[in-house]
A and B are shown apart, each in its own frame.
Chain A
């Protein structure tokens, strides 16, 4: 049998038991644990754990695997909450005809959490308490469902032996022994719940061949149990049950022992040597779970690794770090600027389609007539203007009116090039050269000689990034030159100021007509289509 908990040193109550529990068939009197009436006959007899209160966490402090980190935190809390002086009052409660040893109320736990973890919100304390309960670190003495209630419901603390940080993963043989043992004990309070009876039936079918062995093990366990003190047994029985509630949860409850399969490999016990709760020796082969991929070890540092690291660190050192104040300012400015566009912070107009079920906002976005708010965004950065197809179109039209659209068309062509299927890249790269950079090119762009040289070199082995430098150069040019003029231009300003309120049909048509006319006037023979081989 599981060696009993060091922690709950059973208090040696000298009080006489009102009724002796006969090992044989028992009447229904011992159903006290099943029906808690905390109001009646409760006399508090303080029970204190006898150990000192260093954290009882059994997690190796160097173990940094994900679950262990959480277990360590929980175990620190669980240690403190059971402390003699600083913890909750753990008592033996006299109820009806028997005593309920070593319990504490849910309300006490919640109160303690709020006070000692500095939590102001009761819901928050319930959330944490629920988390600790779900992992089985404390449990309701008369329910299989591991949750915390903020009332007089009684809870008991789990024995460290059974703590999840041991990574139990108990086998079905252990579970079968447990359920079988329960049926032998003939106590109403230990009767199987429906789902447990179903589980037992299923296990009997699955283990049909070795059921005799299981039965014998269960008998042996019962024998060992009988030798223990009655109160101790009550406590141990409940702790054992809580253990199984964690590892074989009630249907519908979350199994908190489930692990993310990506993390499983790195558990401290990668070979998954299974320990038996009841001390059975390992038999047979381990089950081959699909997670059993050979553990991949990243190489430990070799000389080359360290040399590479030194090179990398040198480049890092050479990098100029921007001042925190500047960086902070830039982040703050960005968020402030975009806050009115953030639907989680500013209610969108005309309405948020998700809450109002009115899709007009999306219809507007898709329409060719951008809202004033949207037009305003194009003024934030060139990037923003180009991101929006309507903004890009207007900018292009403006550039054409200035006879400088080749820059933007080059930039767009290179963007397309980067997204193209590999086979088509080389040819397209040549086409771009012919259109924009070759001598006498129809849409000649202005590159500095350095970038020009680099680019023509790149074209000897054309690839997706052949025009990267050139593209960056042109982008900077557009940003500092054409874009700023665009923002001051009539076409942009008209659009920005034009729509103060949704206008009448008539009004909208007139301004749209005016707009197209003003742009159309400045267009010449140059067309908008992408790349054209000049004859």
Chain B
């Protein structure tokens, strides 16, 4: 038996043992455990505001932490910072490359970032001295498109890319501090844990990975999806991970049980999931789909408890505000809507 063959066999045997270990702790299912808790009932959210101004598909949006501001990125080549209450545009930032795929708001509210087919993450300072918003840094090193980015602070940012890696950058010097390699397919999305010690990434190799930011290593890998994972997020308590995939399902994985807890699917949902966000308590998961709708799931009972239908094209991004009061959806129809 060749050496490669032997190694592969060893790996397979280990995988089997892991599967067995995971099975051994399955003394119940989440659905069974949640059978007794009160039903949530129909959740009906209405559109409260429509943010108009983009001229082409919106690919991404991100809420600010402190205020009711959010930033959105569109293929019309603009990054717009919105005051969601008045629907006014606080900033309209023209981009060098119009093929933008992601945007992020720093927790401090001072910076925003975006990137896309230019393979770079551009950082903009919103609070510049003369009032103009300018590019502060261009983080270039990825060899594939920038699919997602999230700030750790004004000093550091994490990016995920179509080159199958995620990178931690030092913004000041514009250098890569850590490269997180391991995925076998384009990384599509990432999310940072509430304590900022870990982040998770979802990729086109159908897996999600948990990374230790400080050590620079992958701690856990979660599989089970049958197609690309497009969206990923942490459950609010930081102990579980939610993923959304082109296989039209969302899954909940627990970090401590090291396995999938539940799948959110329905035979009448045929289109892929593009984006997701949990409500403040985690009891609801709002997921945007390619079929123009957002479905609201009861996370514990895996039942659909609501639908947001209002966009005329794919819902490409979704986010719940920091205080949980409102949900924002962005779509290929060029509009953002605020719901609650």
Contact = CB atoms under 8 A, between A and B. Distances in A.
Contacts of A298: 164, 183-185, 205
Contact of B14 (A69, A313, A328, A339): A313
A371 to B, nearest CB: 13
A334 B237 contact: yes
B281 A303 contact: no
A422 interface: yes
A167 interface: no
Interface in B101-118: 101, 117
A354 B237 contact: no
Contacts of A118: 267
A306 B8 contact: yes
B136 interface: no
B7 A331 contact: no
Nearest to B98: A290
A419 interface: yes
Contacts of B93: none
Contacts of A355: 48, 340
B256 A64 contact: no
B257 A316 contact: no
B132 interface: no
A341 interface: yes
B145 interface: yes
A310 B293 contact: no
Given A316-B18, A338-B236, A324 B7 contact: no
Contacts of A127: 291, 293, 309
Interface in B71-88: 85
A185 to B, nearest CB: 34
Interface string B163-184: 1100000101100000000011
A124 interface: yes
Contacts of B267: 117-118
Instruction: Assign chain B's interface to a size class.
Output: 35 or more
A332 interface: yes
Contacts of A306: 4, 7-8, 11
Contacts of A316: 14, 18, 220-221, 258
Interface string B20-41: 0110111111100110010010
Given A117-B267, A290-B117, A335-B283, A324 B4 contact: no
Interface in B296-340: 299-300, 309, 312-313, 323-327, 332-333, 338, 340
Given A313-B14, A323-B25, A343-B280, A354 B338 contact: yes
Contacts of B272: 66, 69-70
A111 to B, nearest CB: 15
B233 interface: no
Contacts of A404: none
Contacts of A331: 30, 235, 237, 239-240, 254, 261, 282, 300
Contact of A310 (B14, B227, B237): B14
B107 to A, nearest CB: 9
B188 interface: yes
Given A64-B226, A342-B280, A324 B257 contact: yes
A337 B236 CA distance: 12
Interface of B is mostly: loop
A324 B284 contact: no
A325 B33 contact: yes
Nearest to B205: A298
B27 A323 contact: yes
A476 B145 CA distance: 41
Contacts of A323: 25, 27, 257
A365 interface: yes
B45 A344 contact: yes
Contacts of A254: 312-313, 333
A335 B239 CA distance: 12
A260 to B, nearest CB: 8
Nearest to A308: B182
A325 B99 contact: no
Contact of A119 (B15, B17, B162, B268): B268
Interface in B221-270: 221, 226-228, 235-237, 239-240, 246-248, 254, 256-259, 261, 267-268, 270
A353 interface: yes
A377 to B, nearest CB: 11
B173 A422 contact: yes
B33 A322 contact: no
A491 B270 CA distance: 55
Contacts of B290: 70
Interface in B40-76: 40, 43, 45, 48
A261 B146 CA distance: 12
B279 interface: yes
- 9 nearest CB pairs, A to B: A419-B153, A338-B281, A328-B33, A342-B281, A313-B14, A322-B256, A66-B246, A335-B283, A306-B7
Interface of A: 64, 66, 69-70, 73-74, 117-119, 124, 127-128, 131, 254, 258, 261-263, 265-266, 290-291, 293, 296, 298, 303, 306-307, 309-310, 312-314, 316-317, 319, 321-325, 327-332, 334-339, 341-345, 348, 352-355, 365, 383, 418-423, 465, 468
Given A345-B284, A419-B152, 20 more contacts: A66-B227, A74-B270, A119-B268, A131-B271, A262-B188, A291-B117, A310-B10, A310-B11, A312-B221, A316-B221, A317-B14, A321-B256, A324-B261, A329-B33, A331-B300, A339-B281, A344-B280, A344-B340, A422-B170, A422-B172
13 contacts: A117-B268, A124-B268, A296-B162, A306-B4, A312-B218, A316-B258, A321-B257, A329-B33, A335-B281, A338-B281, A343-B323, A343-B340, A418-B196
